[in-house]
Amino acid sequence: MKKVEVLGTGCKKCVTTAEQLEAVAGELGIEVAVEKVTDPAAIMGYKVMATPGIAIDGKLVHSGGVPDRHKIESLLTA
């Protein structure tokens, strides 16, 4: 089970990112727990400057926009 955190203060892009992550993970049959992190201190902890950001198992893997499908696949399978 991968722990996927979507970092962002709660704008629409972050919601979209979380939904797409879940959708793609579902299709690939990967078990994930997607969680939205909105606490500024936590986001600062990851040193993200442009949201939405994505952290998988506590490691920042993406920041600065809604990732496209291709990118999500490679993040989840990495």
Task: Return the active site residues.
Answer: 11, 14
Nearest alpha-carbon partner for 52 in 65, 71, 35, 38:
65
Judged by beta carbon, residue 4 or residue 63, the one nearer other proteins is: 63
**Residues numbered 46-75 forming contacts with other proteins, rule: CB under 8 A:** 47-51, 53, 64
Which residue in 33, 35, 44, 77 binds other proteins (CB under 8 A)?
Answer: 44
Cα–Cα distance, 17 to 45 (Å, whole number): 20
Specify whether the CB–CB gap between 58 and 3 falls below 8 A.
yes
List contacts with other proteins (CB under 8 A). 7-14, 40-41, 43-44, 47-51, 53, 64
